[in-house]
Amino acid sequence: MLVAPSILSCDFGRINEEITAICEAGCDLVHVDVMDGHFVPNLTIGPVVVNAVAKAATKPLDIHLMVENNTFFVDLFAPLKPKYLSFHIEEEKHPHRLIQKIRDYGISPAIVLNPHTPPSSIEYLLADLDMVLLMSVNPGFGGQKFIPSVLEKASLLKEMIEKRNTKTLIEVDGGVNNQNIQALAHAGVDIVVAGNYVFSASDYTCAIDSLRV
Ligand code: DX5
Ligand code: ZN
């Protein structure tokens, strides 16, 4: 299991130290939540701050866009060269075109599904995606309760991936902790995002290691 701490729950007054600490604690990716105050009822950080995060991080960035105008934000964040750039299928009329645009930037494209969105909505995009991110909370805030129906959804998605023989990874985001990690691994999840669970721990290495099942 790969672990991507979400910096939404870090101490933003000490953001540099926090990024250094999670990278030294052995995380695999640094998950960055970009919210525009329209697609979700919260507002986070833009390219100026994310650029500082990219400089401090020794691990690749995993940028999760929760915005209305995906194309505008893809163009804004692509110069920061994240490993993954993910956008919500619920907010995109031309997902295939946007996937190609992200790939043309040399970035791995990923699509995010809200809790109500079925995996069938992206069946014909799977071959072009490097990752699918399943939300296990409603997007917008850290520290929410895990929605267990994501487990069935991950299993269904895994079957689709195997049937189509693609290399698409499955990432789950929201309410992940040491209580649900085994079930997530069993459902075929490859990467977990964990915000509150990692950043509220006194020892980031122990918290990250406890998710490596
Ligand atoms: C929610 C974000 C998540 C969030 C996860 O909209 O996408 O990445 O920070 O935080 P926890 O792990 O605290 O649920
Ligand atoms: Zn996220």
Q: What's the pLDDT tens digit per position in 8-61?
A: 999 999 999 999 999 999 999 999 999 999 999 999 999 999 999 999 999 999
Contacts of residue 28, Cβ cutoff 8 Å, sequence gap at least 6: 2, 3, 4, 59, 191
Task: Give tens-digit pLDDT for 172-209.
Answer: 999 999 999 999 999 999 999 999 999 999 999 999 99
> Is any atom of ligand 1 closer than 6 Å to the C-beta of 174?
yes
Global pTM?
0.98
Q: Which atom of ligand 1 is nearest to the CA of 40?
A: 6
Record the tokens describing residue 15, joined without a space.
Answer: 């953001």
- Across 130-143, b (16+ Cβ under 10 Å) vs e yields bbbbbbbbebbbbe
| Residue 6 labelled as part of a binding site | yes
Quickly tell me which residue has 């799977």 as its tokens. Answer: 126
Predicted complex ipTM: 0.99
CATH classification (class only), 2-209 = alpha beta
| Residue 128 labelled as part of a binding site | no
Cβ of 73: how many Cβ atoms within 10 Å? 21
> Is any atom of ligand 1 closer than 6 Å to the C-beta of 119?
no
Active-site position among 33, 62, 130, 190: 33
Residue 173: active-site member: yes
C-alpha 2 – ligand 2 centre gap (Å): 15
Structure confidence at residue 108 (pLDDT): 99
Provide the percentage of residues in the chain whose pLDDT is more than 90: 100
> Is any atom of ligand 1 closer than 6 Å to the C-beta of 62?
no
Contact between 136 and 146 under an 8 Å Cβ cutoff? The reply is: yes
Q: Which atom of ligand 1 is nearest to the CA of 194?
A: 12
> Is any atom of ligand 1 closer than 6 Å to the C-beta of 60?
no
C-alpha 138 – ligand 1 centre gap (Å): 9
